[in-house]
Amino acid sequence: MTITLRQALATDLDALVRLEQLAFEGDRFSRRQLWHLLNRANALTLLAEDEVGRVLGYGVLLFRRSSRRVRLYSFCVHPEARGLGLGRELLLALEARARQRGGERLGLEVRADNRIALKLYRRMGFRLVRWLADYYADGCAGWEMEKPLEPACGEGG
């Protein structure tokens, strides 16, 4: 399977809504929220698509003008594409984009019961920062995680 990573466009909204509904049981973004992330927020959305243009994953980075901490706001891989290394590839691309925009740390929140995501994030160098009791709408706790973003070769001192 050939995967292409690219910045999401406003025209990708329908595909992102479908993926969101397919991948998450609760705490989904609404169409309106996804539209805002694509069109108005100080954000970057990368998506992964296969050779026929089917969206298999996406990740959203949020940037704050006065901060070097970038937030991985949403991260989603199509259930049929899980276990193929797509999550790792997409996460590496998001980290590179965060670095390019001056990010020094990448933070995220993850459900405490999402063992697969926790394993991926830990393998990718994220560390547990803080327990978030009753964080999600269904009462599930979460973890705040963070990773330092090392400068890429040729960057910085």
pLDDT in tens, 50-85: 999 999 999 999 999 899 999 999 999 999 998 899
**Domain coordinates in residue numbering, the chain:** 4-109
**Of 95, 114, 98, 108, which Cα lies nearest the Cα of 23?**
114
Is the whole model's pTM more than 0.85, yes or no? yes
Mean pLDDT of 11-30: 91
Beta bridge partners of 111: 142
Return the amino acid letter for 74: S
Query: The CATH number of 4-109 is which of 3.50.50.60, 3.20.20.450, 3.40.1280.10, 3.40.630.30?
Result: 3.40.630.30
Q: By the 8 A CB rule, do 14 and 55 touch? A: no
pLDDT tens, 104-114?
A: 999 999 999 99
